[in-house]
Amino acid sequence: MASVLASLHPEDTVYGDVGDATVPLRFSSFPQEYQVLRERAAVLDLGGHRLIEITGPAAVDFAQRVLARDVEYLTSDRCMMSLVLDESGQVVDQVVAFGREEGLLLESSCGAGARLLDHLLAHAEEGAEIADRSADLTVIGLEGPYAWGVVGRLIDGELASLPFESVVDTTWNGVDIVFARTGYTGEYGYQMIVPRQAAPGLWAGALEHAQAAGQEALELAMLEVRQPIPRHEATPGASVIEIGANWLVDITKDDFVGRAAVLEAFETGGGLRTVGFTGCEGVPAPGTRVLAGGQDVGEVVYAVQSAGLGATLGLARVDPELAAAGLGLTVGGVDVTTLTSPYIVPKSWSIPII
């Protein structure tokens, strides 16, 4: 799946395949795009996020069964993030669910849309129609401490101060769009679901007030606030508890696909736990062993060079008794220190919307 905006991106944009999508990893300079996201306002081509509509008289019941969070009362002015699990409790995807008058609209994570769609179709129920809307719609995001200002200049200042996870059906240049206050990075964040034919115009309009940031900058900023990135963190066999994504599951909900497995993993308390770390030189590969006091206690999930920390930042999955911040461990023979989340304090937390 390629972005409808690809023809507008600079010629030297670096693309990469993420799951089933080809997405812009960076448009120009990764450090600069990261800085824009953390210091000003970034516009994001989220064309790698597939949009799947669930409609029909059984739409909400179906969504309640396949989503791990409670969407029974998700009205058309609200959205929420939720995991989608299989029967064994493994993560299929992490979605944003938008309440709609006719049912729900699910936004997949980057590159996971085909997998999500296959899963939904495999669990299809009579009375719930599942339709891939990615041929008609795409998503453009805004993130950053001053993203609210871009919303004001681009659409309507009133929308900037919507409560978190609010959704409004509005118009931009006479085009119907779905506007939502969301966010992946801890900064002020917004998403606009727009018809594909109008997306180039909205993208160009947003670029008059913000700078484009690619997937690399977005994923680093997500990691820094411990926002799960399924494609890196949902490793084969890892439970929700091991990933540390409990908050994307409503375990008080009576029933949903995967609930029994998640509950068992929680009650038995086995497995490993995820903790952030920094300190080593270079970027250790996933699977690099983690030692504590010379003993093997786990492995690296993934790691990157953090522009915000000016150092390596990674996640390790370790023995639960050692899953805590402030410990000196060893990764690939190099000393590291485990961290308290968030690893970077978003600037938006100290900047009010004016």
Give the nearest distance from C-beta 44 to other proteins in angstroms: 17
Give the nearest distance from C-beta 41 to other proteins in angstroms: 18
φ, ψ at 339 (rounded to 5°): -120, 155
Task: Kindly tell me which of 171 and 349 has the beta carbon lying closer to other proteins.
Answer: 349
Task: Kindly tell me which of 201 and 342 has the beta carbon lying closer to other proteins.
Answer: 342
* Using rule CB under 8 A, residue 110 touches other proteins: no
**Interatomic CA distance for residues 122 and 15, integer angstroms:** 31
Compute how many residues bind other proteins; rule: CB under 8 A.
37
* Using rule CB under 8 A, residue 259 touches other proteins: no
Give the nearest distance from C-beta 87 to other proteins in angstroms: 21
Residues 187-226 that bind other proteins (CB under 8 A): 225-226
Residues 5-64 that bind other proteins (CB under 8 A): none
Q: List C-alpha distances in Å: 180 to 78, 122, 188, 240.
A: 8, 29, 11, 27
Residues 309-338 that bind other proteins (CB under 8 A): 321-329, 337
* Using rule CB under 8 A, residue 282 touches other proteins: no
For other proteins, which residue of 10, 287, 293, 333 counts as binding (CB under 8 A)?
293
Task: Kindly tell me which of 7 and 252 has the beta carbon lying closer to other proteins.
Answer: 252
For other proteins, which residue of 158, 171, 295, 333 counts as binding (CB under 8 A)?
295
Provide the binding-site residues for other proteins, judged by CB under 8 A. Answer: 81, 164, 183, 186, 225-227, 244, 246-247, 251-252, 266, 274-276, 292-295, 297, 321-329, 337, 340-342, 345, 349-350
